[in-house]
Chain A
Amino acid sequence: MHEFRVQVGPAAFRIGSAWQRPLAQLAELYRDYPTPDIPDYSVRLEAVSFLRRFIRPAVSINGDYVLPDAAPLPLAQALLAAEMAMNLQMALGWRRHLLLHASAVEKDGKALIMTGASGSGKSTLAAMLGCKGWRFMGDEFVLIDLVTGDAVPFPRLISLKNEAIGAMQVTALDGRFGPLMQGTPKGDIRHLVPARDAIHAMAQPAKPALLLFPSFGFDPAVREILPSEVFIRLTQASTNYVALGEAGFTTLTRFIKTVPARAVDYRDGQEAEALVDRLWSELA
């Protein structure tokens, strides 16, 4: 089995693969990230069967934590398979922070956190703001420290989907992109390497200062959200809130009491950026 190791924020991964090529692609895209000695999680990209290693090769996703009914992907989508496998380890295994399914950017030591369903645009917004003077902290998971309440970055490769690919190719002119994967179960996917400053600062946490629930495709609007609703939404956005027990509850309630939350609707990136700038400047 071929092997590649990478450290993303506080998490270290070992990725094994029956094929060399996907690991070469990962090594190229993750070349600015550290290489850990002892990984937290192992994932494996294996052939569905011996023959399917060569004929219509299909990647089955395995590792320390697996979903029993995960469908295999064609070899051309091996990068996506690796990304899904790494996400799965975090979602099912991570217990060192409160894990929120959210994106985040940082400015002046303070974090703007965005959460919402798939398609809300949180990932694209974080990628875009990362090109406009913010530090990109992550587009998939934000880790909340159980002691300090700080947001800890998890700046893996940015996973752009469908229209976001074209938009970011215009925004991140000097960005490093992975191969375009068409027709995946999630549509078209293309990875973008976060800016170098984001990778170098991946051990630096930030104080959560603003929580947004973005919705893409609506007339611009900003609404307050009651803490009770924020609580319910964040318990749903967290994969380890229940497992952390009292520590999870304490961390989440402290977060809600100290971080203002708003729902924002927007139709395009410019509108979103203007709304974010306005809300950010209104923070005391």
Chain B
Amino acid sequence: MKRYAMLLVDALRDPSSTATLDADGWTALLAMARAEQLIGTLARRLSGLAVPDAVQRILEEARINAEYQRRSALWEADCARRALADYPGKVVLMKGTAYAAAGLKASEGRHIGDLDIMVAREDLPQVEAALLDAGWEWVKENTYDDSYYRDHMHELPPLIHKERDRMIDVHHTILPLTARPKPDAAAMLADAMRLENGLYVFSPADMVIHSAAHLLADGELDGGLRNLWDIHCLVTEFSSSEEFWGNMSYNAGWHELTFAVSRALRLANRLFGTETGSYPEYWATRYSLIMVVGRNETPGDELNALQADNLFVRRLTARDGWGRSTRKFTRLGFYIRSHWLRMPPLMLLRHLWVKWRKG
């Protein structure tokens, strides 16, 4: 039995690779896919292929469940649309719900959890009031957490709907305000595209950039494989347009996310064979270990990007055939990195101090 989630990566990239799996191999693959919330995606990838009956039943169940998640995500988006009907600004859907609403391949079989939307920062009070009025409530009552979110984060503290028990995250930009890259949220809103129902989604380039930022410039790569699969699907679907590559190159620089985007493309190419089209070769060679640590945007020459990429691959595939997290030290490293990316050292100390005192 393979110990790490390369088994899952292989099955997603090349579904026919599952033909050689024995019962234990399938068992491990399905457990990994569930743990990475990719079972619905795997089910879509394997549809039409000959698989053992027991596997077929599990995959069929995953398809039913993915359809349910899609239906509820779109319903939840519509609830938010109605709650914000009097708000004149753009309401941009993000992540899974956006892919589903825009009918993109990235949404096929995808797990969708909370609803994520983005609005202009200056409109937050109005949007917040409208949502509270329509039955959403604060999840966190703690004043430190609340003011932390409001002062330093890219989103409001999470809200949950009191009747439907569903969460909404209201963003005003795509990275915490304390992170070093400063994406231009206003430009993203300006470029967002209108859907038939009046909600918006990011432009193709910004969709990929947001996904890359979420994967590599924020957080500890939990759910990273799913995120990387999104990037693979988005890039594959958009890549026929020359405009897309030009926009992506330009926007990534504009949003100070060149490093995240290029690494995301390299990782997607390496794990899923994503065609990165006319994206300059240059991107694939010049990044140093400092990019793993992250806060600095200066390319160094000591270690090449591919060596640093290895660490990301180790982290992305740290999952065993029981669905357990593995590679504790790699995970710990990325956990520390996530805090390092998120805030400057003094602020981090203060944050940990307050969190520690509150137990």
B and A form one assembly: yes
3 residue pairs, one from A and one from B, having the closest CB atoms: A38-B54, A37-B23, A243-B68
Q: Does A267 sit within 8 A of B, measured CB to CB?
A: no
Give the interface segment out of A93-101, A150-158, A168-176.
Answer: A93-101
Seed contacts A36-B54, A38-B23; 8 additional CB < 8 Å A-B pairs: A37-B23, A42-B27, A42-B322, A44-B322, A63-B323, A93-B61, A243-B68, A245-B67
Chain A residue nearest to B54 in the complex (CB): A38
Question: A residues engaging B (CB < 8 A)?
Answer: 1, 12, 14, 16, 36-40, 42, 44, 62-64, 93-96, 242-245
Q: A94-B61, A95-B61, A96-B57 are in contact. Are A39 and B324 (CB under 8 A)?
A: no
Query: Cα distance A141–B323 when bound, in Å?
Result: 26
Complex A-B: 27 CB contacts under 8 Å: A12-B54, A14-B27, A16-B322, A37-B52, A37-B54, A38-B23, A38-B26, A38-B52, A38-B55, A38-B58, A40-B61, A42-B27, A42-B31, A44-B323, A44-B324, A62-B324, A64-B34, A64-B35, A93-B61, A94-B61, A95-B61, A95-B64, A95-B68, A242-B68, A243-B64, A244-B68, A245-B67
Interface residues of B in 12-36 (CB under 8 A from A): 23, 26-27, 30-31, 34-35
Q: Give B176 Cβ to nearest chain A Cβ, in Å.
A: 23
Q: Report the minimum CB–CB distance from B166 to chain A (whole Å).
A: 12
Question: 1/0 per residue B321-337: CB within 8 Å of A?
Answer: 01110000000000000
Nearest-neighbour CB distance to chain A for B142, whole angstroms, equals 17
| Interface residues of A, dominant DSSP | loop
Is the CB–CB distance between A39 and B27 below 8 Å?
A: yes
Give the complex CA separation of A259 and B247 in angstroms.
Answer: 62
Contacts of B26 in A (CB 8 A): 38
Contacts of A40 in B (CB 8 A): 54, 57-58, 61
Distance of B309 from chain A, by nearest CB (Å): 30
Q: Is B276 an interface residue (CB 8 A)?
A: no
CA distance A242 to B76 in the complex (A): 14
| Bound Cα distance A63, B35 (Å) | 9
CB neighbours (8 Å) of B54 from chain A are 12, 36-38, 40
Judge if B65 is at the interface, Cβ distance under 8 Å.
Answer: yes
For the complex, what is the distance from the CA of A95 to the CA of B64, rounded to whole Å?
Answer: 7
B243 → chain A, closest Cβ, in Å? 38
B24-64 Cβ-contact flags toward A at 8 Å (1 or 0):
00110011001100000000000000001011011011001
Give the chain B neighbours of A93 by CB distance below 8 A. 61
B65 touches A243 (CB 8 A): yes
Contact of A38 among B27, B64, B322, B324 (CB under 8 A): B27
Bound complex: CA A42 to CA B31 (Å)? 7
Closest-CB distance, B21 to chain A (whole angstroms): 10
Q: Does B71 contact A (CB under 8 A)?
A: yes
Question: Once the chains bind, are A95 and B65 in contact (CB under 8 Å)?
Answer: yes
B247 CB to closest chain A CB, in angstroms?
A: 38
Report how far A1 CA is from B324 CA in the complex, Å.
11
Closest A residue to B31 using CB positions:
A42
Q: Which residues of B have CB within 8 Å of A12? A: 54
The complex places the Cα of A42 from the Cα of B60 at a distance, in Å, of 17
Taking CB atoms, residues of chain A closer than 8 Å to B60 are 96
Alpha-carbon gap, A39 to B34, bound state (A) = 13
Which B residues are in CB contact (< 8 Å) with A44?
322-324
| Cα distance A37–B31 in the bound complex, in angstroms | 14
**Least Cβ–Cβ distance between B216 and chain A, in angstroms:** 26
Max chain A Cβ within 10 angstroms of own Cβ: one of B23, B52, B58, B322: B322
| A44 CA to B34 CA, complexed, in Å | 14
Give Cα A62–Cα B320 distance, bound, in whole angstroms: 14
CA distance A36 to B55 in the complex (A): 12
CB-based contact A245/B323 at 8 Å: no
How many whole Å from B251's CB to the nearest CB in chain A? 37
The minimal Cβ–Cβ distance linking A121 to chain B, given in whole angstroms, is 30
Q: A38 to B67, alpha carbons, bound, how many Å? A: 24
- Looking at the assembled complex, report how far the CB atom of A85 sits from the nearest CB atom of chain B, in whole angstroms: 13
A242 to B30, CA, bound (A): 24
